[in-house]
């Protein structure tokens, strides 16, 4: 397979947009990515969205966005994998380019949950979870995360405050990210005083929904020099499935999907964890972010919380993590979330991360989870 | 890119299944395809479904089906492109194998509309159509097809009876297909006496919804001999987008998406239309099937209806079309439909089509439309 490179990235701010449609957001992000590379046409378009069918009743989204971008006749594919949708759209775009059949491919992730009522949005959020036996019980994504939160602290003898440090770290970083939904810094004390939403999980420990779109343009690595943008190599991309029902996992505090996807992605990239300069992990709840760091091999089992509490995950620490705010504070626009991670790592590797710049960033790893937590996408990006 | 081959196919009967779930159907079809090749594991799973989110509220379907098939850790992707979902799942599976990163990939298409009320199913069916300006008006898929029916007959001076011959041809073929939803033969007179559902379209001219699943297993062509199944080469696969809003097309009686996808697929396969032994086209309404044949270049503009009326599209005719009943009579299980086409062409190319066998079938072309009619997938299969 040919090696691929990212030559353009773009995203919208994450927030609530009452005067923009789903397609407006996708188009805005796409144009930014295309402009960066100085192109207006692509051969293939991959669109990832988790919520468009249930929130907007809009299927066939790839063809809609292609039409909106005046990309008539291109190959289009709409992919859905809950919050990992955008990352999988990118992986397929890379494979299309890598296979040699396609030269320029655009991956776009987009969601606009604010078009739904709160009840409808909750139902849509649960679509990534098993419907017949699990969702049927009435449990929701927060309840299941709360369960893991308690289990993690008991198993690893970790305090609530240490776990909460993960959320504090994300807000610290988001404060310098103009695209973030929540730019306020928070303290552990504030987290501990925020309302309980599913015992023991508190409001400031979980991500909220937001509207947003992110786009990433890829081409063959060997041709990247032809375009205006600074190329970033997609060194390794892999996904894996795991247990679809969380409670059936051998070990609920370690997600097989992340472990297997990471192993494959590292092997394809030819890297070890020592090479990693920074990480973007799926912190839909603080504890899920911690488990993700451990499953990626970037922290020992049970030690990620301590790393967060001691500042190691901050920019300037030994493993800068969620350097633009993560799902918690940059915001979590469903199917776009995992492409925001890619956009943000590109900023870092290109030296465009402003006040949050990680010095000498060379290799970044992004990890995203779909459902609870039955699918993982891991992407390794490298400075060329 | 490596060449790929289909080494196993399977499908369920199309119908209304009150005692089987969405996953049961997908598993049944998958096992048949895997059994045919004599394998139980694959490296990647591609799942196409048009309706699972809106009918079952089930997203993240790829991971669910992977778990149900005990395929832990494999790469999974859920794709959605309205009725073309299954075909695009196959195209991505072929690219994954073709790229060299994956060796065995399973594509599954599944939908179970009978889990929805009639109103919910109608809403789900409209998801492939533009929501903000078109669906908003209250028009539905039948109304739009009726519009084209009238236009086709006026432009090409064709009688209603000639158009209806397309539906009669499909029922003729379905009568010999044990997997078909409607095995009754019908006459043009019966079509003309059936109720008007959207003037001038009559009930017996359109496909109805059905539950079903189809699965196709692919491997590198050069390794196909290692497996039990008779290999069929995926000679060319391509998709293209077109105008998202039908009424904005330059010519509403010719779908750009089909024309462009066919051109690419034929080029990749190295064939011309003279090489085609049989065709499966998207006859969600008889007139759409006719337009599709013309867009594929297999009939001159305005002449497909005459071909249907003179028996040329029947098995034994010059261009056997929809030889197992098409969407009209085999049934249209949403995202699975376009994989049924592939399964049926494989039966023909392997000489397993029973009473409907096309003699000396060597090359088959499948065409599927997503939305109205903004996306097309064209697949060329060849006997090895």
Whether B182 is in a domain gets the answer yes
Task: Name every chain A residue with its beta carbon within 8 A of the beta carbon of B96.
Answer: 95
pLDDT score recorded for residue B38? 97
The closest of A251, A349, A302, A295 to A6, measured between CA atoms, is A349
CB contact under 8 Å between B240 and A74, yes or no, is: yes
Among A233, A267, A284, give the residue marking a domain's end: A233
For chain B, what percent of residues have pLDDT higher than 90?
A: 97
**Residue pairs between chains A and B whose CB atoms are closer than 8 Å:** 200
Provide the whole-model pTM: 0.98
- Whether B50 is covered by a domain: the verdict is yes
Residues B219 and B364 in one domain: no
Is residue B155 domain-shared with residue B41, that is, in the same domain?
no
Q: Does residue A284 sit in helix, strand or coil?
A: coil
| Residue B72 pLDDT level (bands cut at 50, 70, 90) | confident
What whole-number distance in Å separates Cα of residue A197 and Cα of residue A243?
A: 26
Q: Are residues B79 and B168 in the same domain?
A: no
Show residues of chain B in contact with A96, CB under 8 Å: 95
For residue B315, the model assigns a pLDDT of: 98
CA distances in angstroms from B115 to B54, B111, B187, listed in the order given? 10, 10, 32
Nearest beta carbon to residue A53 from set B1, B53, B101: B53
My answer on whether B316 and B282 are in the same domain is: yes
Chain mean pLDDT for chain B: 97
Residue of A45, A51, A60 best to disrupt the B interface, most CBs of B under 10 A: A60
| Domain assignment of residue B261, yes or no | yes
Report the residue of B42, B57, B60, B125 to disrupt the A interface, i.e. the one with the largest count of A CBs within 10 Å: B60
Say yes or no: A145 and A267 in one domain: yes
pLDDT score of B241 more than 90: yes
User: In chain B, what residues touch A46 (CB-CB under 8 Å)?
Assistant: none
Q: How confident is the model at residue B183 (pLDDT cuts 50, 70, 90)?
A: very high
> Cβ contact (<8 Å) for A127 and B375?
no
Q: What number is the ipTM of this complex? A: 0.97
Question: B290-332, pLDDT tens digit by residue?
Answer: 999 999 999 999 999 999 999 999 999 999 999 999 999 999 9
Instruction: Find the CATH number of the domain harbouring A149.
Output: 3.40.47.10
H-helix or E-strand containing B156? helix B141-156
- Shortest distance between the Cα of B265 and any Cα of chain A, in A, equals 12
Number of domains within chain B: 2
- The segments of chain A whose pLDDT lies below 70 read none
What would the two tokens of residue A277 be? 């300069």
In a domain, B170, yes or no: yes
Which has the closest alpha carbon to B319: B339, B337, B299, B338? B299
Distance CA A94, CA B315 (A): 42
Tokens of B249: 């097309």
pLDDT band of B77, cuts 50, 70, 90: very high
Note the pLDDT tens digit of each residue in A17-38: 999 999 999 999 999 999 999 9
The answer on A108 and A42 residing in a single domain is yes
pLDDT score at B229: 83
For B317, the token pair is: 């005719």
Sign of the Cα pseudo-torsion (B96, B97, B100, B102, in order): positive
Assess whether A202 and A224 both reside in one domain.
no
In this structure, the answer to whether residues B80 and B41 fall within a common structural domain is yes
- Picking from A59, A239, A241, the nearest residue to B71 by CB comes out as A241
B348 plus B324 within the same structural domain = yes
Give mean pLDDT, residues B98-104: 96
Provide the pLDDT for residue B247.
87
The residue segments making up the domain with residue B347 are 128-206+237-383
Extract the runs of DSSP E, i.e. beta strands, from B49-179. Answer: 75-79, 105-111
A53 and B243 within 8 Å at the Cβ level: the answer is: no
Smallest CA–CA distance from B335 into chain A, residue: A60
The CA distance from A267 to A277, in Å, is: 17
Q: Is B384 exposed, middle or buried (0-12, 13-18, 19+ CB in 10 A)?
A: middle
- Among B73, B244, B257, whose Cβ lies nearest the Cβ of A241? B73
B22-33 core/surface letters (b: 16 or more CB in 10 A; e: else): bbbbbbbbbebb
Of A175, A199, A233, the domain-final residue: A233
Q: What is the pLDDT of residues B212-224, one digit of tens each?
A: 999 999 999 999 9
Residue B123 lies in a domain: no
Q: Which of A58, A74, A123 sits opposite B241 (nearest CB)?
A: A74
What is the per-residue pLDDT for B308?
98
User: Do B374 and B316 share a structural domain?
Assistant: yes
Using DSSP bridges, classify how beta strands A363-370 and A278-280 pair: parallel, antiparallel or unpaired: parallel
Locate all alpha helices (DSSP H) within chain A, ordered by sequence: 22-37, 52-56, 61-68, 85-99, 118-125, 141-156, 160-174, 188-193, 256-269, 286-295, 304-309, 337-349
Of A63, A75, A244, the CB nearest to B244: A63
For B373, phi then psi, to 5°, come to -125, 65
User: Chain B partners of A130 at a C-beta cutoff of 8 Å?
Assistant: 58, 64
pLDDT in tens, B38-49: 999 999 999 999
In chain A, the residue whose alpha carbon lies closest to the alpha carbon of B100 is: A1
Same domain, A217 and A197: no
The verdict on B296 and B311 lying in the same domain is yes
The residues near A175 (Cβ < 8 Å, ≥ 6 apart) are A183, A184, A185
């Amino acid at each position: 397979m040919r090696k691929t490179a990212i030559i353009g990235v773009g995203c919208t701010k994450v927030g609530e947009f009452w005067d923009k449609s789903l397609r407006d957001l996708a188009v805005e992000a796409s144009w930014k990515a295309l402009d960066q590379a100085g192109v207006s046409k692509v051969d293939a378009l991959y669109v990832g969205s988790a919520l468009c069918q249930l929130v907007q009743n809009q299927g066939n989204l790839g063809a809609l966005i292609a039409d909106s971008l005046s990309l008539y006749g291109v190959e289009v594919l709409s992919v859905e994998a809950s919050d990992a949708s955008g990352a999988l759209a990118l992986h397929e775009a890379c494979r299309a380019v890598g296979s040699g059949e396609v030269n320029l491919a655009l991956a776009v992730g987009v969601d606009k949950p604010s078009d739904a009522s709160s009840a409808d949005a909750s139902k849509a959020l649960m679509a990534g979870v098993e419907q017949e036996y699990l969702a049927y019980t009435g449990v929701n994504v927060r309840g299941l995360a709360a369960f893991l939160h308690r289990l993690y602290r008991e198993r690893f003898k970790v305090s609530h405050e240490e776990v909460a440090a993960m959320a504090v770290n994300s807000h610290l970083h988001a404060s310098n990210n103009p695209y973030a939904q929540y730019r306020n810094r928070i303290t552990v004390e504030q987290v501990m005083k925020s309302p309980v939403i599913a015992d023991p999980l508190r409001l400031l420990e979980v991500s909220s929904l937001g509207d947003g779109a992110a786009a990433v343009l890829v081409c063959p690595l060997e041709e990247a020099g032809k375009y205006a943008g600074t190329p970033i190599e997609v060194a390794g991309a892999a996904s894996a499935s795991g247990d679809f029902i969380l409670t059936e996992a051998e070990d609920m505090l370690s997600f097989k999907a992340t472990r297997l996807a990471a192993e494959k992605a590292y092997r394809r990239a030819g890297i070890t964890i020592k090479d990693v300069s920074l990480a973007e992990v799926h912190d839909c709840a603080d504890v899920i972010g911690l488990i993700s760091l451990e499953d990626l091999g970037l922290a020992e089992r049970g030690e990620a919380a301590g790393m967060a509490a001691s500042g190691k995950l901050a920019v300037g620490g030994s493993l800068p993590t969620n350097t633009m705010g993560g799902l918690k504070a940059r915001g979590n626009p469903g199917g776009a979330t995992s492409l925001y991670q890619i956009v943000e790592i590109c900023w870092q590797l290109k030296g465009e991360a402003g006040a949050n710049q990680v010095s000498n960033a060379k290799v970044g790893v992004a990890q995203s989870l779909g459902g609870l937590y039955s699918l993982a996408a891991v992407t390794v990006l490298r400075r060329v």
